[in-house]
Amino acid sequence: MAQITLVKSWCYEIILVSLRAVAEGRKPFAQHQEPVAARQVWAATGQVRLMKTCQEGFAKLNLHCAQVLVTKEYFRDRLHYLNMQQCFNAFSKQNIAPIVNENDVIAVTELMFTDNDELAGLVTAMTDAVLILANVDGIYNAPTSSLTHS
């Protein structure tokens, strides 16, 4: 949240691409199902936990957040693409931070993103985003405390 607070202080709008739903959903459940069904259960239950955490964190910043679940197909189909773009614009006008995640509950192998970097790239292109924050090696070269606004 410290990075989001800093970016918001620069008057940028926030779009968060998240990858925590499956991990959050896995926590309270043992795997007693086939891998695909377990992943669907974890994604569905984890999304609720993730959104609760995001809602609480964003509320501390006096921001609202919204959930956007997508599949790769939404970026291939022009109607879906334009509808998502319109949705992101509406969020922007209302000062709402969208939390974007793959819809792992319904996504099947051929429709899945290779990783959330791919999803973040597609959202960035769609919304003309200018800044991506991540904690992945190779993406950044300085701790958040050294971020400055230029």
- According to DSSP, the residues that pair with 102 across neighbouring strands are 70
Residues 74 and 103: their CA atoms lie apart, in Å, by: 11
What per-residue confidence (pLDDT) applies to 82?
96
pLDDT beyond 60 at 144: no
Task: Please name which of 121, 133, 108 lies closest in space to residue 7, comparing C-alpha atoms.
Answer: 133
- In order of start, what are the domains of the chain with their CATH numbers? 14-131 (3.40.1160.10)
What per-residue confidence (pLDDT) applies to 110?
62
pTM value surpassing 0.75: yes
Cα three-residue angle 33-54-116, rounded to 5 degrees: 60
pLDDT digits (tens, 9 = 90+) for 106-142: 876 666 787 778 888 899 899 987 776 665 555 545 5
Structure tokens at 134: 């991540």
What per-residue confidence (pLDDT) applies to 10?
82
What per-residue confidence (pLDDT) applies to 24?
82
H-only helix segments in 10-139: 21-26, 35-59, 72-76, 78-93, 116-127
DSSP structure string for 101-134 = EE-TTT--GGGS-SSHHHHHHHHHHHHT------
What per-residue confidence (pLDDT) applies to 149?
46
